[in-house]
Amino acid sequence: MSIFCRTYKKTMSVNLENQIWMDGVFITLKLSNPALQASIYTVCDMLDDLKRVEALERVLDRSPIVEVKKIDERDPPRNPSSGFSEVLTRLVKERRRDYGVLVQSTSGGRIPFTTMMELRRMGRLGPVGKRDSGYSWISLTLNRKLLKDYDINEFRKLFLEVCTAVEAFYGGSAEDNIMCVQREIFMAKAAKNPLERKKNPDFDQEIWDVYWLNYFGAGYVQFWGQDKIDRLAEQYDVTRFVNGAVCVQTTPKPVFADPNAKGITDYPWKRHMYDVLGWNTFMHETQKQGKPGQYVPTLDDHRRILKQK
């Protein structure tokens, strides 16, 4: 997720607690022009599995907030996304290595904002039974100066439909300062050396954090048990899916970053999730990382469940 972190030049109007010199720039919490972020993860090889790619294409075509303009810089503009899978197939044949595919889409008319999607294969995706940290990652971004209920509702719908289409094992969505910028600052300040900060979770041991939308595939539901999912439903809105997954929505609308927060866990609406699933299940500054399979199912567990479907 760090790829979407915004970097800004130092300004006197920003509280020093909300900025840090990192990677050659000042990274600063910015509360204007909010954006929604979503990161979706699947053990399907989305750069090779045309069945999943075609399902993703149908989701993009249906969404009123997405008009796919470009898939590859050499690809001519298009609308709707017809031909997405064909272009992606060509790219797979031309480049026999991991790479990202960026889909930029600009909505016109009464909804002037930009949505972006990046599809990337992370690491090796190997057979069940071998230690493999590979997975496919899909990122969605919605930018608008003022997020309205329509935008938020359609983005939530798009997020859930993408999760279902790609058989996601995990997905999260939140306002970008909470999901990316602020957590980068907190993690960097907690590290002895900001350049050696922990950037990404090991999905065999942990998950990102508690967000506005939290999609947990069947592997998590089976691992934690229905009792814990029912306990989450005591304070959160839980949507259950026929594929065994659930989406836990912690707040009715995305919460914006609190500039006075002292750490990643310093948000009251997150605490019930921490209490039920365990504070060390999530990656934050004070987490004590567990062993593979201790707090969360492993990627191999997710692969076995997918293979059974």
SS3 233: coil
Please give the model's pTM, rounded to 2 decimal places.
0.83
Number of helical (H) and strand (E) elements in the chain, helices listed first = 9, 11
> Is 15 or 86 the better-scoring residue by pLDDT?
86
State whether 158 and 222 are in the same domain: no
Same domain, 36 and 121: yes
Q: Which of 168, 185, 211 is the last residue of a domain?
A: 168
Q: Copy the structure tokens of residue 81.
A: 């996304």
Which string of DSSP letters, residue by residue, matches 70-107? Answer: ESSTTSPP-SS-TTHHHHHHHHHHH--S--EEEEEEE-
Q: Does residue 7 lie within any of the structural domains?
A: no
Rounded mean pLDDT, 93-118: 53
Q: Are residues 44 and 148 in the same domain?
A: yes
Average pLDDT over residues 134-158: 83
Q: Please tell me the predicted confidence (pLDDT) of residue 228.
A: 97
Classify 124 as helix, strand or coil. Answer: coil
Which domain-ending residue is among 150, 168, 186? 168
Same domain, 299 and 221: yes
pLDDT tens sequence across 62-71:
888 776 666 6
90 inside domain: yes
- 214 and 300 in a single domain? The answer is yes
Residue 22 located in a structural domain: no
Residue 25 placed within a domain: no
Beta strands in 29-67 (DSSP E): 35-42
Query: How is residue 28 written in tokens?
Result: 């600063």
Selection from 171, 253, 158 nearest residue 209 by Cα: 171
Are 162 and 217 in the same domain? no
CA atoms within 13 Å, Cβ hemisphere of 278: 15
Cα distance from N-terminal residue to C-terminal residue, the chain: 29
Residues 252 and 228 in one domain: yes
Same domain, 121 and 49: yes
Q: How many domains are there within the chain?
A: 2
The DSSP output letter for 64 is: T
In this structure, the answer to whether residues 164 and 233 fall within a common structural domain is no
Residue 14 lies in a domain: no
Examine the fold and report which residue of 106, 134, 168 is the final residue of a domain before the chain moves on: 168
pLDDT of residue 103: 62
Q: Are 139 and 216 contained in the same domain?
A: no
Note the pLDDT tens digit of each residue in 234-247: 999 999 999 999 99
Residues 6+ apart with CB under 8 A from 209: 172, 179, 183, 264, 270, 282, 283, 284
pLDDT of res. 162: 93
pLDDT category at 118 given cuts 50, 70, 90 is low
Is 255 found in the same domain as 144? Answer: no
Domain that holds residue 154: 31-168
Do 144 and 58 have their domain in common? yes
Asked if the structure places residue 63 within a domain, the reply is yes
CATH of the domain at 44: 3.30.530
Average pLDDT of the chain to the nearest whole number: 78
State mean pLDDT over 9-15. Answer: 36
1 located within any domain = no
| Residue 144 pLDDT grade (very low, low, confident, very high; cuts 50, 70, 90) | low
